[in-house]
Structure 1
Amino acid sequence: MAAQYDFRPMPKAKEDGKPQLLYPRIVNKGTIDTERLVSDISAMSSFSPGDIEGLLAAFEDRISYYPSEGHHVQLGDLGYFSAGLSARPVEDKKEIHAQSIYFGRVNFRVSPAFRKRCAGFLERVRPGYGFRQSQELSGAERYRRLMTYLDTHPFITRQNYSGITGLLKNKALNDLNLLVNKGYLDTIGRGSHKVYVKTVNKDVTEENSEK
């Protein structure tokens, strides 16, 4: 299946008298979560889901450990992980104390070989099916997409919900939390690990999904 693309306006404000510039961008079809990856790999190999999850946990542990010692970590042909520092720029090394320098991010540099493997066929989306503003989707349509997703997945994350509805973070959270308050969804976990699951024997109509 080909990836689809559409055109979006450049973030820079439109200049008077000049047409607004557009750039092509992949249309997000949703997020493939870890559970889906584990299931796919297990079906394609002799490894059990438990074996794959155990290996994944071991990789995460080692990949997070070595950058903390100053190493770069190569993960097959995927690319390289490295730690980055955060600190204010100075003209003289004596202007900044060691306490003000800290690990601020993790960098990932994709290898040329993996970048080529990710390159597939492209096709332009049909008119009306490209990027849409979140307010263009009714509450009932967002709920329908949510239930369709949960029919084939045990849970959904905020990121997944943003992917299938086009809602930005805060609007997506408002949607999900409203459905939790109404009893249509339950939550598992906390903070960044929170996921949303379908409440058993609960349904919603187009009328009350808009509220």
Structure 2
Amino acid sequence: MSALYDFMPLPSQENDGEAPRLYPKLIPYQTVSFNELAEKIAGHSGLTKGNILAVMDEIEYWATHLLSEGHRVQIGNIGTLSVSLKADTKVYDKNDVHAQSIRFDKVKMTVSKRFSKQCHGHVQRAPAWKKVKQSSSAYSEEERLALLQSYLETHDYITRTEYGNLTGLMKYKAWQDLNKWVQAGVIGAEGRAPHRVYVKRKE
């Protein structure tokens, strides 16, 4: 199976009357759950699905434990996990900040060059019926929310325009989605229109 792509306009660019610059964007298939991945590994390796799930539980346990102690954790040849810190208040003088106001923020993965080089599958232009469309029917609401939450795992915020490009929604529908999830407490929002951005919900 080939990876499919389409072209999308770069967000927030000033064109001065010129045609917008385009970039290639993968069109995602359905997300493969870890349960499905474990079944594939079991069928390929001869290991039992139970053993694979048990090993994953141990990796999760020790990764969170070691990250909490300030270590970086390598996950096989895929990459290395690390954690960032965040100050609860704006810092201008390091002597004015107490340790109580510093907390763990996000866990990030730096993908190894070896793993990146292994991801070199064939790509082809998506057929017309599969292309990203500026349409509310491109993804279901659940799929749009999953795309949004995945995006916010690796980005500090998303704008309405970026969310529209991500999901293929028109301006008004994108705004409806985002504000619906803000009101439901699924995500957070900062700033005011037209500079409002949407962020991951604070735990």
Identity score, percent: 33
Contact kept? 2:136, 2:168, Cα under 8 Å? no
Question: Equivalent residue for 1:126?
Answer: 127
CA distance in 1, matches of 2:39, 2:145: 21
Separation of aligned partners in 1, 2:64 and 2:35: 21
Distance 1:125 1:15 in 2: 26
Question: Residue 83 of structure 1 aligns to a residue in which SS?
Answer: strand
TM-score, length of structure 1 as denominator length: 0.64
- How much has 1:104 moved relative to structure 2? 0.5
Task: Specify the code of the residue in structure 2 equivalent to 1:38.
Answer: A
Hey, what's the Cα distance between the residues in 1 that align with 2:30 and 2:146? Answer: 9
**What is the alpha-carbon root mean square deviation over aligned residues?**
3.3
After superposition, the C-alpha distances for 1:83-120 in whole angstroms (9 at most, x for unaligned) are 11012553421122211110001121000000011121
1:28 aligned residue = 28
The TM-score with structure 2 as length reference comes to 0.66
* Separation (CA, whole Å) in 2 of partners of 1:53 and 1:157: 28
Three-state SS of the structure 1 residue aligned to 2:120 is coil
Confirm or deny that 1:159 pairs with 2:146.
yes
> 5+ unaligned residues in a row in structure 2: which ranges?
151-166, 181-185, 187-203
Q: Which runs of 4+ in 1 moved over 6 A?
A: 165-168
Give the match's secondary structure for 1:135: coil
Contact 2:27 2:131 in 1 (8 A): yes
Is the CA contact 1:31–1:159 (under 8 Å) kept in the aligned structure 2?
no
Cα distance change of structure 1 residues 166 and 19 upon mapping to structure 2, 3 Å threshold: closer
Q: Which has the larger Rg?
A: 1
- The secondary structure found in structure 2 opposite 1:109 is strand
Uncovered stretches (5+) of structure 1, i.e. residues with no partner: 147-155, 175-190, 192-211
Change (3 A) 1:38 1:166: farther
1:20 is matched by which residue type in structure 2? P
What is residue 105 of structure 1 aligned with on the other side?
Answer: 106
